[in-house]
Chains A and B, each alone.
Chain A
Amino acid sequence: MNEAVYAVAGIPVISGLLLALIPGYRITAIGNVIASGLTFMASLTFLAMPPIVENYVILDSLNTFFIVLNTLVGFTTSAFSASYIGHEIKTGHLTPLFVRFYHALFQGMMASMNIALLANNIGVMWVGLELATLMTVIMVGIYRTPNALEAAWKYFILGIVGISLAFFGTILVYLAGQSVLGEGLPAMTWSRLLSSAPQLDAGLLNLAFIFLLVGYGTKVGLAPLHAWLPDAHAEGPTPISAVLSGLLLNVALFALLRFKMLMAAHPGALKPGPIMIAIGLLSLIFAAFMLYRRRDIKRLFAYSSIEHMGLITFAFGMGGPLANFAGLLHMVMHSLTKSAIFFAVGHVAQAKGTQRLADIRGLSVSHPALAAGLALGVVAISGLPPFGAFMSEFLILTTTFAREPLLALAAAFGLLVAFGALLLRLQGVLFGTPAGADHKVNASSLPLIVHLTLVLAAGLYLPAALIAWFQRAAELLG
């Protein structure tokens, strides 16, 4: 195995263990940032490396960029978290002991997500996702208030349900592969399963996909299995909300995509398209309507995450090179934008001391820079030009319209409803006379700026290499 692969997987593991042992939150916060930065730099080398296909590790056009994105968002989130945590300790939300575990768990979670992304073995992929889930569960409940406990418990139960179903699906896929590839490791290696996909048993694959869809779909937050998502986002610390929305949902969807590729390669198996379209549309429209009644700012953006994951699933369900391209692009854009929004929201919540929308007013007067950041973030996520999300949403809608006009209408309807809700809420937050508390916040705005700049740049100009990479991946997805 390559040194870079070792680094990307190993650095977070080692630093997680180290961080658990070091006392003093300032040191662990800085250590967290450094470790994430190192992992990010190690993953940048992947961009220049040729593809790797080994027994346990795979590095192809699909996951290379996602690993880079993963480590990037992890790095910026750790930077944000370092400045955010200080305030939490001052207000007494977190004790120093728990902060230590928080940082260790953060690294552990990054490690497991990287492992899941790099894995060529479907069992290892499952293990990575399960470990990441368990760690985020602990982190969601780290405030130990009754609400946090309920949110973490709900997340845990639903997560376990999803994980178990996904494992059963994995066993079924192994069974299907076993009759063709023989017992043991080969039948669990995804690349070999893909190459012999047409010979696999269709019935087993169908049943497996159902289980995998429900199992991993729970982790992606698709309705009707989304119940854990709003609470987990609202009650956990804001960096965790950013990580959940920006990273974990993507990794879960990525796992689902791997299996979708298997199904697509088998001509006689169930067509995963219609199911994914249905679930995606359901999530999109449901979440869009739910946006109107939210009274908590983090819950609002959690539902927005559900909506966007629904849209992405819809795009992958439509299939074909253009829709897949648009879906991949939107995954990236959503990841960057949503985490940026959560950075801003975290600041806002700290400045105002509350998460209730009714108590956050007049930000443009009291905290103009913060207001600008939040406004730009909402504009970006709503799919307005010139930000990157506009491109991806536009592409999805146009390709769908060309093939199934009614579905495009439904998707556009959902997007419009969501847009209206977000704008309404944003208006309430930004304008009006300032009300409520006004704490001093010395958190860093740099991560927010970095993300938004990237999204803006992507909206204006996508490098040709990137386009080529997305296209290759889109073709693989079928």
Chain B
Amino acid sequence: MTHGYDVAHFLAGTMLVASFTLLYQDRIFAVLNTFAAQAMALALAVAWQGYVQHHPDLFITAAMAFGLKGIVIPLALNRMVVRLGIHRDVDQAVNVAMAMFLGLGLTSLALLLVLKVTPGAASFTREGLALALAIILLGFLMMITRRNAVTQIVGFMSIENGLILAATGARGMPLVVEVSVAFSVLIALFVFAVFVFRIRERFDSVDIESLDRVRGERR
């Protein structure tokens, strides 16, 4: 079982490194590729859990993660970026060093929190949950520190990656929910696409800052 644990730890760790890389990247295509890599790591991690836990449902989830998030969504976003003509760098609201430090702080917080709260659970569950929470918090950080709509989408998708990792760690979560999560991700992407095109239509840019001009609180 240590062997099984090691592979799982390796794959989850890769996902975490990918989250940090997402924070660090400042070119959109690099961001999309890193996200695809994270999705593939997720697919492998889920498939491995399916093999180790003898839970064939998880293979379906793995296939969905691989197909949807590893291939379809990055390709779709790629197309969107090309069509919208966003080829330049992504603006950062907070500089990279600060974002990295915040990311490290959030990761430590997530690990310590989950380890403290789950003293009795199985080893992969604890670890999957800890790393998943770290990935989720890093996804939030990415959404906060970026100003570009497309990278906010990727931030959200990486949050969903973390959620699926957490759901996999919790053994035996019924397939229903996982399928729905995947489905809702698709819907969310659709909504995003609609919005990004509309925003582009109205503002000629996908910079969220230009939206801030219309602040509701002052009315």
Contact = CB atoms under 8 A, between A and B. Distances in A.
Interface stretch (B10-18, B19-27, B99-107, B159-167): B159-167
A214 to B, nearest CB: 11
Contact of A153 (B132, B166, B172, B195): B195
Contact of B176 (A124, A150, A178, A187): A124
B173 A134 contact: no
B188 interface: yes
Contact of B199 (A153, A183, A204): A153
B214 interface: yes
A86 to B, nearest CB: 25
A97 to B, nearest CB: 13
Contact of A146 (B125, B203, B208): B203
A414 to B, nearest CB: 19
Contacts, number: 121
A175 B184 contact: no
Contact of A161 (B129, B132, B140, B202): B140
B143 A164 contact: no
Contacts of B170: 171, 174-175, 178
Give the contact-size bracket for chain A. Answer: 35 or more
Contacts of B219: 234, 294-296, 299
A138 B191 contact: yes
A359 interface: no
A402 B20 CA distance: 53
A179 B116 contact: no
Give the contact-size bracket for chain B. Answer: 35 or more
A231 B216 contact: yes
Nearest to A202: B117
A175 B118 contact: yes
Interface in A267-315: 294-296, 299
A141 B195 contact: yes
Interface in A118-154: 121, 123-124, 126-127, 130-131, 134, 137-138, 141, 144-147, 149-153
Given A138-B191, A296-B219, A150 B140 contact: no
Contacts of B214: 146-147, 150
A329 to B, nearest CB: 31
Contacts of A296: 219
A304 to B, nearest CB: 16
A157 B177 contact: no
A295 to B, nearest CB: 5
A47 interface: no
B2 interface: no
A167 B195 contact: no
A156 interface: yes
A98 to B, nearest CB: 11
Given A123-B173, A127-B184, 12 more contacts: A137-B191, A146-B203, A147-B216, A149-B211, A150-B216, A153-B199, A157-B152, A168-B163, A171-B167, A184-B172, A184-B174, A201-B120
Interface of B: 113, 116-121, 125, 129, 132-133, 136, 140, 143, 152, 156, 159-160, 163, 166-167, 170-174, 176-177, 180-181, 184, 187-188, 191-192, 194-195, 198-199, 202-203, 208, 211, 214, 216-217, 219
26 contacts: A123-B177, A124-B176, A124-B177, A138-B194, A141-B195, A141-B198, A147-B216, A149-B195, A149-B202, A149-B211, A151-B216, A157-B152, A161-B140, A168-B166, A171-B167, A171-B173, A175-B125, A175-B170, A178-B171, A179-B121, A187-B172, A188-B174, A203-B118, A230-B217, A234-B219, A295-B219
